[in-house]
Structure 1
Amino acid sequence: MADLTSRDLTSPQPDCDGGGEIEAVAPDYTEIIVIRHGETEWNADRRIQGQIDVDLNDVGRKQAAAVAVRISKESKISAVYSSDLKRAYHTAEMIANCCGVIEVFKDQDLRERHMGDLHGVLFHEAAKTRPEAHKAFLSRSRDQEIPVGGESLNQLYERCTSALERIVKKHRGERVVVVTHGATIEELHRRGSNGMSAENVLNTSVNVFHLFDEHKWSIKSWGDVSHLDGLFGNNGQA
């Protein structure tokens, strides 16, 4: 499901380091830095995006620039992977550019959950305007699909964890950035924490996983948005 998008490397932003010093990762695991995309207008409006291809807004572009600078000042990364949706891919492009990585791998399996009949609906109106889909969304069953083509949580889980396991096989002993979406990251957290739920995943939050193989995952750090301190106030969430 992954395809490679190559581009000419444009000039890094002034604050970028072009990637930190190479620091060896133990050969028995891969460090995956999972980052949520920057904000979109639909995020700001509390409108359900799912797999609708909404791009970053001005706030989201500033958030993406901030996380890109942050990652460039840390240990060097080997590759950048992204959902193919614009909000994730454009965040990933900024990170790749800042870190001196000239290729971004796009993978549809890193997309947000397909929200079916809830796509485009304001959260606070969903119960009234899409009652069956809203009921399915709130279901305690992880096998409950959302009407009109939506995914169950277990379908999302299998899709996104398989994507990370493929990445591990290609990058043993390396550091890799993956840019994806809120519900997707929540499912990755579930895998890395043996079934525990994640708290709210903020835009451009940095979440670090160690994957030893497809059977052994661990979470090194979670939900770090320190790169947004002072950007807008409220942890950089405008």
Structure 2
Amino acid sequence: MSPAIPASPNGEHFAEVVVVRHGQTEWNVSGTIQGRLDQELNETGRQQAAMVARRLSQEAKPAAVYSSDLKRAAETAQMIAAACSVSNLVLDQALTERHMGLFQGMKIHDAYKAYSSNDDRNEQLPGGGESLNQLSERCVSRFNAIAEKHKGERVVVVSHEEVIQEICRHADATRSVRRKIPNTSISIVHVSGSDGHWILEKVGDIGHLNEDSFPQHAPGGDGDGGGGGGGASA
């Protein structure tokens, strides 16, 4: 069982949610927007996933591992669950990447040429894509439900860059710039569940990759995107 997560000074109990971005894919390397398109990890991505799994296996054992059901996230999550000896692995569509509409499968620079966002968070992307507010509502609601179930415990959630950026923004609204979230980076939020109190503890930690001389982020990343409504996604 995971060690208890301390209560806040006002008595609230939190779940410690360790949020991991999936490992690298070939589309990350080529700068192609993935969104909901289901790409597998490449060999570098599998090595990255093994590294983050090894790191998490040396820390407090999570009570459960939750993951987007897309292959690149699910494979990363499976390696983490195995390394941490966690049998409770949940694949969850609510944790999937932002639907990027007609930009899915496009090169990042072509997408930026075709679409310029007016920073309206309610604006849906062309071709049935999600708005940032729709993405945030979906993910925040799911994180609250996970935290409510795991108060006082540590859990791992494996997801995608746009999702993690929104989670970090929700936890700390003072952030004016959406940060790059490297492949297999670790971000940590403490979430009180239904009380809606979130604390952002860490963003984009890739110490486990640096130790093995891996680059700080995959070439092209999720498209180096994420800013505004037209950011790239993976």
The TM-score with structure 2 as length reference comes to 0.86
What is residue 179 of structure 1 aligned with on the other side? 158
The yes-or-no answer on 1:124 pairing with 2:103 is no
Q: CA deviation at 1:102?
A: 1.5
Distance 2:217 2:137 in 1: 31
Distance 2:152 2:18 in 1: 13
Q: CA deviation at 1:235?
A: 2.4
Q: CA deviation at 1:187?
A: 0.3
Letter in 2 for 1:116: G
Structure 1, residues 15-71: CA drift from partner, whole Å, max 9, x if none?
xxxxxx842223611000000000000001000000000010001000000000000
The yes-or-no answer on 1:206 pairing with 2:186 is yes
What is residue 73 of structure 1 aligned with on the other side? 58
Residues 182 and 216 of structure 2 are in contact (CA less than 8 Å); yes or no, is this contact kept in structure 1?
A: no
Structure 1: state its 5+ residue gaps.
1-20
Structure 1, residues 113-153: CA drift from partner, whole Å, max 9, x if none?
1000001000122245xx2xx23xx3310011111110000
Distance 2:88 2:63 in 1: 10
Letter in 1 for 2:206: V
- For 1:1-238, list aligned pairs within 5 A: 22-26=2-6, 28-128=13-113, 131=114, 134-135=115-116, 138-194=117-173, 196=175, 197-214=177-194, 215-235=196-216, 237=218
Residues 230 and 236 of structure 1 are in contact (CA less than 8 Å); yes or no, is this contact kept in structure 2?
A: no
Distance 1:100 1:187 in 2: 29
Root-mean-square deviation (Å): 1.6
Q: CA deviation at 1:230?
A: 4.3
**CA distance 1:230–1:31, shift in 2 (3 Å):** closer
Q: CA deviation at 1:103?
A: 2.7
Residues 82 and 180 of structure 1 are in contact (CA less than 8 Å); yes or no, is this contact kept in structure 2?
A: yes
Q: CA deviation at 1:170?
A: 1.0
Structure 2: state its 5+ residue gaps.
8-12, 220-234
What is residue 9 of structure 1 aligned with on the other side? none
Aligned residues: 212
Partner SS for 1:81: strand
Distance 1:233 1:24 in 2: 33
Letter in 1 for 2:191: L
What is residue 229 of structure 2 aligned with on the other side? none
Q: CA deviation at 1:158?
A: 0.2
Letter in 2 for 1:166: A
